[in-house]
Structure 1
């Protein structure tokens, strides 16, 4: 039996969620379902909740506000919110009354409810909730004549993948090592149908991944390059996309050490890698007709007698030499090798890299949007439209050649840091551009502010799952073009 299914009556329903847009509340429908005459205190404001008895005695009706058109991209959060606030009273099965709304809300409702299943306290010894709804798979019935099983299944698969990625990002770095990420990718590939290839330290040395190795040389956990590849079943020419992710499992800053305040959050510095790994999993689950390569460069940036030092000159997979001005600008080093490898090894039509790369991006856009860099106008416009629609927003910043001089080195081909307290996200992007071999369709997303932040669902900062859905929706545009 499917965990999400259509029903044609409410006779067995015990917990019914009835959503409305603001100022579009059907009080007559509410009266029919509750037997209450008059208008309850409910206007449909975003995330507004009102709980009413149902006409069938023990049943409960939950009114949920969807807000106005400006809240459309966040509709799923209204359903996640009602679950967060009321699931202590829920039994295993809930019913969504969506007969008065379109199929778009079906996706958002299922997506939000399944997102609510993620509980951040995975390492609490008393962390198991005495609650069927939270402990088990979502059992959801949908009352709607326009119910679409495929839409419901996609929403569930998307949320389950995003939850898995949030759990991965929130995992502490004493557990989440580069080899742990590699094993995660292998397990995901075996379950959902994409190939993986892992390059260990010896293979990285033979392959010439000198920048990745240099970043990881101060850690007892050896670096890894994780290669994932999804090919659709059947024959034919499919669009090809390479996704590249920064996988720093913990970032002390190296010898250019970070302040201790908030350093514990640096377990999240593999948010770009997580987005790429999640996208490969979800694209595979949905069997999308696109050839996708995922490359993750993973290392721990630790402090040790063997650590990379400011002033060192290192090589790279591309053959270019790099003067290391700041060891805390390590993410761009591992990405330099990964991007160049993806371009040379696969010659993809398009390349997108994601990284929690700079504090400058956070200073510019806060936790509201990711910084987007690309000289490909169509990629920029498509990604912007997708981000606005699903509330994983991006905002374009320039790649002007004026910033090339900030990468000058007297003794190497390029330096990894300008030393200037300005335009940090831009100069980081210009550094990465050096290693793209002038690829005509490359995009860099600096997701430092969006992958890990404050939320209403945890007291400390935590993973958002940003990027999984954004990349998957972008892949769909390649199919349509």
Structure 2
């Protein structure tokens, strides 16, 4: 369903349109006398006596074709809370027969900054669907006309639009099936983002072999598709200050390789590239909103298949860092992709920090379910910034432990390290401990295990099920609050 928003200077017709109006938490409608007709005011006032005022949104049928929707704004409501109200409102209005609405922005006065913007942001985020491959698509349009003086500057609307575009792009990428979005196609799509001002470099297998990125290449060697490392640079500052770096795991489909996964739910492994999708969506967002920051996104794109040339359990490979890895399980492949990508990012760009994102372990879902991403970090300041940003946009993270005592679980008798902990337990922590070994110059680093957050079968506050785009808004908020 498409959302069309119009900004109107003229006064709206009080008696001929569906109206969305804002009131206080007690549903005191005395402030609405100027916004609705006297007959509608009397009708709504009378019906309110019989309604459950604990609800946040109440709908009144004025006629068979017209409704008035009252949205309750409590005191000290956060921006995230307003966005959730917008999402709740969308769930109500999408079922109406008449899909044109008018919002009187002046009914949201004396509240926190840009209530209308955040409310519409919630509506739009919730409205996303992926119907590309359906023969019958929902072609309905919701039209929302905004009236009144309480409307923020155009730059604020541009920022909301950029975040939505970045989030939707990430969701689109995750939603694509593996036969469409394989590494070859994915690299082409990223390359198309040059038109937004991003500097894109694509390293194919020949270049990766020359660089010595053997842990990344090893994962993809069983596939007929290529393997790639793609860098995206956004230079929003005139100076040459060190960039912020974001690294994503892009396993376009993960069969587990020779260590084959069970057939049940393997179809969900199309979203094993969600970490990379977040990075790509974030970089698109930064470019669209002309963010005043230098940033780089790096993604490793591979397909993990059990082909005749596939990597075997027991193989030993030398990483870009020079460290060797014994492959005990080919289904622990994401950390191998990230290992080379992280070291390359650190050496090439010398960033202020590195944040990597990956659907890395099922163990993090056991630990945190679908409420928090797992945060592992070598830096307290960066961790706090991520936690605070996550709370503000409700893309929450929970810090998990790293400790040298875990190293013995990934030390190998035959190489510098092994890619899994064969003893058992601490699956997410040992994976993060593995990644930490590829930070060579003490760069502040955080690893976000988003396995429980990237895809939702039942939907969340701001998504209707499927790919969530989790991480784009989180990282945008981190940048916005701390680095611009």
Report the TM-score, using the length of structure 1 for normalisation: 0.90
Q: Confirm or deny: 8 A CA contact 1:8 1:144 kept in the other structure.
A: no
Deviation at 1:314, TM superposition (A): 1.1
Deviation at 1:205, TM superposition (A): 1.4
Q: Confirm or deny: 8 A CA contact 1:239 1:478 kept in the other structure.
A: no
Q: Confirm or deny: 8 A CA contact 2:245 2:351 kept in the other structure.
A: yes
SS in 2 for 1:243: strand
Deviation at 1:253, TM superposition (A): 1.2
- Does 2:222 correspond to 1:218? yes
1:38 is matched with: 46
Matched residues in 2 for 1:245 and 1:188: separation? Answer: 17
Deviation at 1:171, TM superposition (A): 0.8
Matched residues in 2 for 1:66 and 1:361: separation? Answer: 36
1:53 is aligned, of 33, 52, 62, to 62
Map residues 141-160 of structure 1 onto 2, 5 A cutoff.
Answer: 141-160=146-165
1:166 is aligned, of 165, 168, 171, to 171
Going from structure 1 to structure 2, the CA distance change for 1:96 and 1:246 (only over 3 Å counts) comes to: same
Residues 432-456 of structure 1 show CA distances to partners (whole Å, capped at 9, x for unaligned) of 0011114231111111111112334
SS in 2 for 1:103: coil
Q: Confirm or deny: 8 A CA contact 1:6 1:147 kept in the other structure.
A: no
SS in 2 for 1:337: helix
More displaced 10-residue stretch of structure 1: 454-463 or 11-20 = 454-463
- Does 2:277 correspond to 1:274? yes
Q: Confirm or deny: 8 A CA contact 2:114 2:152 kept in the other structure.
A: no
Map residues 339-358 of structure 1 onto 2, 5 A cutoff.
Answer: 339-358=342-361
Q: Confirm or deny: 8 A CA contact 2:326 2:412 kept in the other structure.
A: yes
Residues 403-456 of structure 1 show CA distances to partners (whole Å, capped at 9, x for unaligned) of 011111011011110023311111001100011114231111111111112334
Equivalenced residue count is 468
Going from structure 1 to structure 2, the CA distance change for 1:274 and 1:25 (only over 3 Å counts) comes to: same
Going from structure 1 to structure 2, the CA distance change for 1:49 and 1:173 (only over 3 Å counts) comes to: farther
1:109 is aligned, of 116, 119, 142, to 119
Q: Confirm or deny: 8 A CA contact 1:6 1:144 kept in the other structure.
A: no
Matched residues in 2 for 1:340 and 1:373: separation? Answer: 17
Q: Confirm or deny: 8 A CA contact 1:397 1:426 kept in the other structure.
A: yes
Q: Confirm or deny: 8 A CA contact 2:83 2:122 kept in the other structure.
A: yes
1:131 is matched with: 140
Deviation at 1:374, TM superposition (A): 1.1
Going from structure 1 to structure 2, the CA distance change for 1:92 and 1:197 (only over 3 Å counts) comes to: farther
Q: Confirm or deny: 8 A CA contact 1:93 1:141 kept in the other structure.
A: no
Map residues 313-392 of structure 1 onto 2, 5 A cutoff.
Answer: 313-392=316-395
Matched residues in 2 for 1:337 and 1:325: separation? Answer: 18
Going from structure 1 to structure 2, the CA distance change for 1:162 and 1:67 (only over 3 Å counts) comes to: farther
Q: Confirm or deny: 8 A CA contact 2:243 2:349 kept in the other structure.
A: no
Map residues 435-454 of structure 1 onto 2, 5 A cutoff.
Answer: 435-454=438-457
1:434 is matched with: 437
2:26 is aligned, of 12, 24, 27, to 24
Going from structure 1 to structure 2, the CA distance change for 1:3 and 1:378 (only over 3 Å counts) comes to: same
Matched residues in 2 for 1:231 and 1:59: separation? Answer: 49
Matched residues in 1 for 2:247 and 2:270: separation? Answer: 19
Q: Confirm or deny: 8 A CA contact 2:181 2:252 kept in the other structure.
A: yes
Q: Confirm or deny: 8 A CA contact 2:85 2:122 kept in the other structure.
A: yes
- Does 2:467 correspond to 1:463? yes
Matched residues in 1 for 2:114 and 2:388: separation? Answer: 17
SS in 2 for 1:371: strand
Matched residues in 2 for 1:239 and 1:161: separation? Answer: 23
- Aligned-residue Cα RMSD (Å) equals 2.6
Q: Which runs of 5+ in 1 are unaligned?
A: none
SS in 2 for 1:274: helix
1:299 is matched with: 302
1:80 is matched with: 87
- Does 2:65 correspond to 1:63? no
Report the TM-score, using the length of structure 2 for normalisation: 0.89
Deviation at 1:248, TM superposition (A): 0.5
Going from structure 1 to structure 2, the CA distance change for 1:212 and 1:378 (only over 3 Å counts) comes to: same
Deviation at 1:102, TM superposition (A): 3.0
- Does 2:164 correspond to 1:120? no
Matched residues in 1 for 2:458 and 2:82: separation? Answer: 16
Deviation at 1:212, TM superposition (A): 0.9
